Amino acid sequence: MTSIPDQLSATFGGAFAALDLPADLGQVKESDRPELADYQCNGAMAAAKAAKKAPRAVAEAIVEHLKTAAPDLEIEIAGPGFMNIRLTPAFYATRANEIAADPRAGAGKVATPRTVMMDYGGPNVAKPMHVGHLRSSVIGDSLSRLFRFRGDQVISDIHLGDWGLQMGHLVTELQDEQPDLPYFDANFTGPYPSEAPVDIEDLARLYPQASAKAKSDEARMARSRAATAELQAGRPGYRALLRHFIEVSIAALKRDFGDLGVSFDLWKGESDVHDRIAPMVERFKAEGVTIQSDGAWIIPVAREDDKKELPPLILISSQGSALYATTDLATIEDRKVEQNPDLTLYVVDLGQSDHFEQVFRAAYKAGLGQEGAFEHIKFGTVNGPDGKRLRTRDGGTFRLADLIREARERAAARIDEAGLGAELSAEDKAEVARLVANAAIRFSDLSNYRTTNYIFDLERFISFEGKTGPYLLYQAVRVKSLMRKAKEKGLEPGAIQITAPEEAALVRRLDGFDGALQRAYDLRAPNHICEHAFALAQAFSSFYAACPILPEGDDAVRASRLALAKAMLDQLTLALSLIGMDIPERM
């Protein structure tokens, strides 16, 4: 299937080629002035010099050629040589029927599928997720959905932070509170209890307690560091505790991620690659990848064309410790061995840009991937009304679970205010509120280009009016209701014919789906899907207001409009699924 602009570009490209001019000058796009034309081609302006003619003369020659080659196009020349194009109703009808019959709603696939590793989420064990994890989670999840839909094999990995000083803090603080647990007895031979001695609330309390104590007490910090070293060296009791900490944390994380509709194929963490670090470092030494400097082992990554100096990656500190970058390289090696991805995308905030540039360059230098095999998918911050990072009223970190709960409460209240869902059971109404809250959160984030910061305004995001997720759900539910009523009356969609300008405008929006997905895929930017979904809903709203469907007296026209409505619903459902939004049956 070929989009209308691509079809027209091929036609106009042939006309330019027939005049011995470059075919790519025939590029056609939607008109900037829809009141004047549907599409436009500006190639005559660029062709004038090569043709040694005025742009308008080139345009006239192109139009003359197309009178025979494409008699169904209505072309007018405007100004110095702009070619304005209007399509016949039959042209639109052909394209609309193609989209309506396509299970993918007009969307194509990549020519050469790849294996793509998606690294997103990245929460730490024992720490409840906060609003800062929101963007990584929903952007990464949406990109995973998009890349799969386009035909790539996608493997998503949460990459847990589970191997560092915070583990030593937890072990020692738990020992202070429950010293008789068998995990702290060096002579205990096991087996250790299968039930965890803590829950997620315990972990959320123990870590900040220990961290605060260690900041003001060097001896307390030394205990945590010693426990961390023993854990990493393999002390059985501490390793058993680590497994408990991870299991308890993952259970809580799955609840929060589940509330957002986010999932992962792999739940691996830093601890999973610890055993790779020592042999990897030795190999790097043997191959001359790393050099010694002031007692540390480093990998120089600066390049001559750098605009700013990039410090070397520290592989092993002068104290003999592996660092985050070391673990990241070991993770890349682990993935190369286990999954061998063609491309790895790291969905992590802008503040980590230099870190990932160091890691990627070091990985290329070490032969862990070809240039371009790793990308940092950067994103900005979620801010409060004051323009600063979103915080609670008392200035604390805004927990993601609290944000989700508040969104659901606001959604339920807004549904009541709008007089929606009166016929629904309490259980169904709660489910609708969940879907509306999820739509509000996801769309508000993903509709922004990912590198921009945005203000989190839940009151506006939860609205059923304007450019919001709930508005899109409401429009989709309206069409579902329409289709149910049609079925009850025994009415079925039929062949699409175009009889009104609003129908043609809706077809143009339907036709733009593949282009929007292509832009989102190439730029790693789900906002293009959001833009398309909103434009599609607006076009349908105009069509619905201008073109009666069920009341239409002409059977063929009514069946055609039902088919257009169904095509819109199918495509909108698919678009929203790619950004993680599910549509309720009723609202």
Tell whether the model's pLDDT for residue 374 goes beyond 80: yes
CB under 8 Å to 504, separation ≥6 — which residues? Answer: 38, 87, 89, 92, 498
For residue 395, the model assigns a pLDDT of 59
Q: What is the pLDDT of residues 141-158, one digit of tens each?
A: 999 999 999 999 999 999
Q: What is the pLDDT of residues 178-197, one digit of tens each?
A: 999 999 999 998 899 999 99
Tell whether the model's pLDDT for residue 414 goes beyond 70: yes
Q: For residue 298, give the nearest of 314, 284, 322, 280 by alpha carbon.
A: 314
Tell whether the model's pLDDT for residue 379 goes beyond 70: yes
Q: Identify the three-state secondary structure at position 379.
A: coil
Chain mean position to CA 261: 12
> Which helix (H) or strand (E) covers residue 557, if one does?
helix 555-578
Amino acid letter, 409 = E
Q: What is the pLDDT of residues 97-109, one digit of tens each?
A: 999 999 999 999 9
pLDDT-derived band at 396 (thresholds 50, 70, 90) equals low
**Annotated domain spans of the chain:** 4-87, 165-260
pLDDT-derived band at 458 (thresholds 50, 70, 90) equals confident
Mean pLDDT value across residues 552-559: 97
Tell whether the model's pLDDT for residue 5 goes beyond 70: yes
For residue 564, the model assigns a pLDDT of 98
Mean pLDDT value across residues 460-465: 91
Cis bond before residue 311 (omega within 30° of 0) = no
> What six digits make up the tokens of 366?
């070490």
Asked if residue 271 lies in contact with residue 162, where contact means CB atoms within 8 angstroms, the answer is yes
Assign a CATH topology to domain 4-87: Gyrase A; domain 2 (3.30.1360)
> What six digits make up the tokens of 117?
């590793």
Tell whether the model's pLDDT for residue 554 goes beyond 70: yes
Mean pLDDT value across residues 544-570: 97
> Which helix (H) or strand (E) covers residue 59, if one does?
helix 55-69
According to DSSP, residue 66 is labeled H
Mean pLDDT value across residues 205-227: 94
> What six digits make up the tokens of 446?
């993903």
Q: Say which residue the tokens 């060097």 belong to.
A: 218
Q: What is the pLDDT of residues 242-276, one digit of tens each?
A: 999 999 999 989 988 998 899 999 999 999 999 99
Q: What percent of the chain has pLDDT over 70?
A: 99
For residue 401, the model assigns a pLDDT of 86
Distances (CA, A) of 233 to 97, 102, 123, 565: 65, 57, 24, 63
Average pLDDT along the chain? 94
Tell whether the model's pLDDT for residue 515 goes beyond 90: yes
For residue 508, the model assigns a pLDDT of 97
For residue 394, the model assigns a pLDDT of 60
Distances (CA, A) of 423 to 136, 325, 427, 586: 37, 56, 12, 9
Task: Concatenate the DSSP letters of all residues of 89-126 into one string.
Answer: HHHHHHHHHHHHH-TTTT----SS--EEEEE---PBTT
Q: For residue 369, give the nearest of 332, 339, 338 by alpha carbon.
A: 332
Q: What is the pLDDT of residues 286-322, one digit of tens each?
A: 999 999 999 999 999 999 999 888 999 999 999 888 8
Q: Identify the three-state secondary structure at position 82.
A: strand
pTM (2 d.p.): 0.93
C-alpha–C-alpha distance, residues 235 and 223, integer Å = 15
C-alpha–C-alpha distance, residues 321 and 298, integer Å = 12
Mean pLDDT value across residues 50-77: 94
